[in-house]
Amino acid sequence: MRKNSEGPGLFGESTAVDLIESGNVDLVINTPVGRGTRQDGWLIRTAAVQRSIPCITTTAGFSAAVAGIRALREGEFGVRSLQEWLA
């Protein structure tokens, strides 16, 4: 997947924003690192928010999402009050 600032690839490869806008993305994981990422990250997050696509921006958030998805798949998902968690 290409950064928006790189534009489409020589063989028509889509940018991250193009893929989000096309409706082919269900979850965005955007942890900016390196040069030029501020504008690219902003465009990616904006495209995700405009389409109500969940967007994870930290590695801790990514780990929590993986744990939650795993719990859902394994049928271990439940709801507890804060008081139950702290007991």
Tens digit of pLDDT at every position of the chain (87 positions) = 667 677 676 777 888 899 999 998 999 998 877 666 678 888 999 999 999 999 999 999 999 999 989 988 998 777 888 898 788
CA gap 9, 29 in Å, rounded: 21
Rounded CA-CA distance 52/26 in Å is: 9
pLDDT of residue 80: 83
Give the pLDDT score at 76.
76
| Residue 49: per-residue pLDDT | 94
The topology (CATH level 3) of 4-86 is Rossmann fold (3.40.50)
